[in-house]
Amino acid sequence: MSHSTRCAACKSLRRRCPKDCVLAPYFPPTNPQRFACVHKIFGASNTTKMLEQLPLHLRAVAADCMSFEASSRVEDPVYGTVGIISQLQEQIIEAQSELVKTKSEIAFHNAQQQLQQQQMQQLQMINAIAQEGEDWP
Amino acid sequence: MGGSSPCASCKLLRRRCAKDCIFAPYFPSDDPHKFAIVHKVFGASNVSKMLQELPVHQRADAVSSLVYEANARVRDPVYGCVGAISFLQNQVSQLEMQLAVAQAEILCIQMQQEPNLPTHQIDQVDKSLLLSTNNFDDNNIPQYLSFASSSNVIQDPLKRESLWT
């Protein structure tokens, strides 16, 4: 027994698409590009092996991830997803640096404010003492 | 050439290592694991085709990134490298949120100190409060990545050297 419409994988590989085709649920015929990328980068046989090694409920996510990795590699044949990881790491470093700079500005302002408050309190005390001195004959 | 040992690829594939073997410069015989893992995930034939399509000066980096991806996929057979991307994206989001909060605090402090702050200065500070747009919209990172998060792959996100193991 086979699928009435072959999946993208079986269509591409020009073979019959059996009812229990491992790839059929994840590579529908409506999206031939998705399988084309995966086939180019991982190969049909490797893709099938990798999916077969996973429990059923994890295969859809795995197929999505492999599809993303494959299309990233097609777009960037040198770095693939590693290029994205590098960019994200750079973004993290920049954001951390900006955060440290901003937090130190806040700390500086708070310290200044505290100092001003202390100075005000000291002035008030001095004024109070001076006032007391005037009140006493 | 007589006397030179076959590269790791040709050793694994049990074939003669030609003088112009495409794998030899990148898969030396003293590191068989490197080719084994790339062969397991991508297949020797696919790797050969990928390298052939690249200029020579880019092949070393391509091999390094393929090795990294292959290791990631073996360590995490479901998410592979995508797990690392998701993890880092979460980190970026959290940092951007913290930055927005800190910048809002700076704005409050400035407004307290200068209640008559000129309008154009307020506009500039407002712009900095906007979360930076996700630079990776153009890479079409799927939505589900916000749920998947795996730090299995990243040894130390801040050390780029760790990418090339």
Per DSSP, the three-state class of B46 is helix
Q: Does pLDDT of B130 surpass 90?
A: no
Q: Do B66 and B93 lie in a common domain?
A: no
pLDDT score, position B20: 92
pTM score: 0.76
What ipTM was assigned to the predicted interfaces of this complex?
0.80
Q: What is the mean pLDDT of each run of 10 residues along chain A (137 residues)?
A: 81 93 95 96 96 96 97 97 96 96 92 91 92 78
Q: Which residue of A has its CA nearest to B103?
A: A102
Q: Do B102 and B70 lie in a common domain?
A: no
Q: How many CB atoms lie within 10 A of CB B141?
A: 19
Q: How confident is the model over B20-76, as pLDDT tens digits?
A: 999 999 999 999 999 999 999 999 999 999 999 999 999 999 999 999 999 999 999
Residue finishing a domain among B55, B75, B95: B75
The answer to whether the beta carbons of residues B131 and B100 sit under 8 Å apart is: yes
Q: Does pLDDT of B129 surpass 50?
A: no
Beta bridge partners of A18: A2
Q: Do B93 and B142 lie in a common domain?
A: yes
Among candidates A58, A78, A95 on the partner chain, residue whose Cβ is nearest the Cβ of B92:
A95
Residue B116 lies in domain: 80-146
Radius of gyration from C-alpha coordinates of chain B: 24
Q: Does pLDDT of B97 surpass 70?
A: yes
The answer to whether the beta carbons of residues A99 and B102 sit under 8 Å apart is: yes
In a domain, B155, yes or no: no
| Alpha carbon distances (Å) from B123 to B99, B118, B127, B129, B130 | 17, 9, 6, 10, 11
B contacts of A55 (beta carbons < 8 Å): none
CA–CA dist B116, B138 (Å, integer)? 41
Domain count, chain B: 2
In a domain, B21, yes or no: yes
Residue finishing a domain among B75, B94, B113: B75
The answer to whether the beta carbons of residues B68 and B81 sit under 8 Å apart is: yes
Q: Do B18 and B55 lie in a common domain?
A: yes
In a domain, B118, yes or no: yes
In a domain, B160, yes or no: no
The answer to whether the beta carbons of residues B104 and B138 sit under 8 Å apart is: no
Does B4 touch chain A if contact means CB atoms closer than 8 Å?
no
**Would you give the DSSP letter of residue B16?**
-
Domain boundaries, chain A: 1-75, 85-136
